[in-house]
Amino acid sequence: MECQKHNASNSLYPNLIHECLDPESKKHLAAYFCEGCFSHKECINSANVQQYLEISRTLHHEKLQYECENFLRNNNMCRRLSLEPRSRNEASRYQLMFTGNREDRSSRPLDLHLYDCRKNFQKTCRIPELSNVGVGCAVCCLQDNGYDAPHVYVSGGGKCSGDVYHCDIVMNKRKKCSKRLVKGRSHHCMTCVQNKLYVLGGQCSKGETIRTVEEFAPKRHSWKTVGNLEIGVRSATAVIHNSQIYVFGGILDMGKETSIVQMFDPKTKTSKILASLPFPVSGGQAVVREGKIFVTCGNGRLVSYDPASDQHVICTNMPVCCTNFAMFAEREGIFFAGGKTPNDDNVLKTVYVYSPENCTWHVTDKDLSVPLSVYGSCSVEIPADYGLVPFFS
């Protein structure tokens, strides 16, 4: 496993880490290996948890690793990370987080929160044009590279609607598109590949999962069915890597979560099943960083998937188990912003960063300005010479 190899190479051997422990911690660790559990909660503490974690990864001891990660989560021991401002000439990369009460379509418009960790900028606005967008919609930015004008699209949702909304960032205009999806759907995926939009999977108004893949080209200005997934899924997560669309997990027709990895090729319009993750994925998120795809699998679990080898690595669990957060990659690592805890419905404003290089979590010094439960999110890059802020210029 990648994370385990990294730690093993730094620490050399488990016995060397073991020698760094105090006598009492050595005693507790020896008893743990004999009995399979710690006798007291105090056996793990802030002085020994990092050494225990190193040993668990080096020995591939998943149970001990879980104990250590659980202690770190419960005691908020993530290292602090300072987000340094970027240069004035660098492009702004905003994370657009759509929030609001979307269970009731007639309640109020969606709110949009802009977060730019590069320039330490945040702002919130309301979008009346998206007042009819329902739960289960998909959000995507149509932008082939950082120099193209970005266009944000919102599709489907609600009662499996075929509606599509277009937000022109440069002209600051929002409208409902005249061309609808071929098949109305909700809880689907939407991605952009080479200046074309693709919607994949989801569910129809009868509750059945959908296999079809639809394509939208701005020049043609219409949607058409171009292929199928191997297995129809809803509430899956999709990401682009090397112009291929990877679809992770989802929920099958019978309501069972799946861990399968599917790949759709926009060029050949064909799909295939590649592998399976160690955990099922439902309502998860995925981002690409340095050639690896990082996928959230629920219950605070994070997995790294290598498209080149179809192999996966189980990463260190998230500090807080939550849903409805924004996930995006930056140079500091993989960011997780906001979210809602499953048990007490507590909405979060903390921004965490996961560092794949050393498998550790950090708490940034730039929280969200307000707690957010995020229902749709996408990244938008604005060249420095544009001099505009999305939805505000």
Percent of all residues in the chain with a pLDDT value above 70, rounded to a whole number: 90
In this predicted structure, what is the pLDDT of residue 10? 37
In this predicted structure, what is the pLDDT of residue 16? 57
Percent of all residues in the chain with a pLDDT value above 90, rounded to a whole number: 49
- Range with lowest mean pLDDT among 7-11, 41-45, 152-156, 178-182: 7-11
Q: With cut-offs at 50, 70 and 90, classify the pLDDT of residue 319.
A: confident
Highest mean pLDDT among 124-133, 197-206, 381-390: 197-206
Specify the pTM.
Answer: 0.82
For the record, the structure tokens of 299 come out as 């219950």
Tell me the C-alpha distance between 352 and 285, whole Å. 15
Instruction: Tell me phi and psi for residue 129, to 5 degrees.
Output: -65, -20
Write the pLDDT tens digit of every residue in 250-267: 999 989 999 999 999 999
CB 185 within 8 A of CB 204: yes
Which whole-number Å values give the CA distances from 270 to 34, 189, 247, in the listed order? 52, 17, 13
Tell me the C-alpha distance between 111 and 305, whole Å. 33
CB 353 within 8 A of CB 332: yes
Q: With cut-offs at 50, 70 and 90, classify the pLDDT of residue 17.
A: low
Q: With cut-offs at 50, 70 and 90, classify the pLDDT of residue 330.
A: very high
The architecture (CATH level 2) of 91-386 comes to 6 Propeller (2.120)
Residue from 84, 132, 66 nearest 321 by CA? 66
Q: Is 13's pLDDT higher than 60?
A: no
Residue from 240, 251, 112, 255 nearest 188 by CA? 251
The span from the first CA to the last CA of the chain, in angstroms, equals: 47
In this predicted structure, what is the pLDDT of residue 18? 66
Q: Is 343's pLDDT higher than 80?
A: no
Residue from 379, 392, 372, 389 nearest 99 by CA? 372
Write the pLDDT tens digit of every residue in 134-169: 789 999 999 876 667 889 999 999 888 999 999 998
Tell me the C-alpha distance between 46 and 26, whole Å. 15
Write the pLDDT tens digit of every residue in 276-301: 999 999 989 999 999 999 999 988 89
Q: Is 7's pLDDT higher than 50?
A: no
In this predicted structure, what is the pLDDT of residue 117? 85
Tell me the C-alpha distance between 313 and 303, whole Å. 6
Query: Which ranges in the chain are annotated with CATH 2.120.10.80?
Result: 91-386
Burial of 91 (C-beta count, 10 Å sphere; 0-12/13-18/19+): middle
CB 187 within 8 A of CB 136: yes
